[in-house]
Amino acid sequence: MTATSFAAGGYRFTPGRQFSGGIAAEPGFALRRVRFRKPLPLAQGLAAARAILDAAGRPPEALAACELRSPRPLPIAEFIAFNETYLAALRAQGFTAEAPYPIGRSNLTPILAPPAEVVLFAVTFTVPAQDAGGVDFFISGKPENRAAPSFEEGIVGGADVSPAGLRLKAEYVMGELRARMAELGVEEGRVTGAQAYTIHPLEPVLEIVTGRLPLAWGGLTLVPAHPPVTGLAFEVDLRSVSEEILA
C-alpha cells in the first residue's frame, strides 16, 4: 500500500493532479454517498454538500469524492483550466483543495439530456463507522489515457473504437483501477457499484470489465456519455460504500 493518509478527513488517498486517483476510509470510518435527486450547478451543489456535512456533524475535510456531470467534452487544455475553477469552488465552501488534492472525483458528459453547465451529481464523505470500519473506498473515474509526451499520444488504442480497440482500452482501464485499489490496500471483492461511461456498445468489453472484478452480482451501470476530455472513449469508476441515500 502506497497511499497517503489524510487524517483530518478520516481517509487515505492516491495522489493525482487536481483530484486524487481514489480514496479509502481509515479504520473507524465508513463512507456515505449522497446523490442529488436533481443535480445542482457546481457552486450551489457544493454549498448543499457543505450543509449536508454540517448536518451530519462532519468537518469539511471529510468530503472524500465528488461526482460531476458536464455539458460536453473539453480539449485537454480547457479541461485543466476547468479544474482550477473546480478547485476554487471547493475552496469557497471550505473543502480541501490544495496539493496533493486528496478528494477523489468522477466526471462525465451525458449524451441524453446533458446539463447546461457543470453540475454536482453526488458526493461521498466519511462518517464514524458502526463497526471497525476501514473497508469502504471510492476509485475515481479512469479513462484510457496514460502519461506520454502529448495527451493524444497517451490515448491507449488511439482513435480506434472498433470492438478490438475498445477491448484494448478496457484492458488498460481495468488494470489501472485494480492498481489503484492495490495502492489503497482495499479488497476488490467489496465493490458495491461501478459506472462505465461510453457512447459505444458495451458488449465487446463487458467480460473484461466484469471479469476483472466481482461485478457479476452487483452489476455495472452503463451511462451513455463521453469521458470529460475530447478524444477519450471509455471510462470506469468504482465504489464500495456502506450507505447510499438521495437528497
pLDDT tens, residue order, the chain (247 aa): 689 999 999 999 999 989 999 999 999 999 999 999 999 999 999 999 999 999 999 999 999 999 999 999 999 999 999 999 999 999 999 999 999 999 999 999 999 999 999 999 999 999 999 999 999 999 999 999 999 999 999 999 999 999 999 999 999 999 999 999 999 999 988 998 999 999 999 999 988 888 766 665 567 899 999 999 999 999 999 999 999 999 9
Cα 99 from chain centroid? Answer: 18
For residue 69, what are the CA distances in angstroms to 63, 95, 195? 18, 19, 13
Residue 153: count other Cβ atoms within 10 Å of its Cβ.
11
CA gap 94, 152 in Å, rounded: 35
Q: What share of the chain is helix, strand, coil (3-state, %, to 5)?
A: 30, 35, 35
The single residue listed with the C-alpha cell 455539458 is 71
Sign of CA dihedral 182, 186, 189, 190: negative
Q: Residues, the chain, total?
A: 247
> Residue 199's Cα: distance from chain center in Å?
18
Cell numbers 476530455 label which residue?
229
CA distance 235 to 145: 10
CA distance 121 to 70: 10
Q: What is the pTM of this model?
A: 0.94
Query: Per the structure block, which three cell numbers stand in for 234?
Result: 471509455
**Burial annotation 95-114 (CB, 10 A radius, 16+ → b, else e):** bbbeeebbbbbbbbbbeeeb
Domain locations along the chain: 4-246
Output the CA angle 60-90-24, nearest 5 degrees: 55
Handedness of CA 119, 241, 228, 4 (dihedral sign): positive
Q: Considering the domain 4-246 in this protein, what is its CATH number?
A: 3.30.1330.40
* Rounded (5°) CA angle 132-137-143: 170
Give pLDDT, residue 95.
Answer: 98
Nearest to 6 by CA among 100, 130, 124, 93: 100
Cβ atoms of residues 11 and 25 within 8 Å: yes
The DSSP symbol for 145 reads B
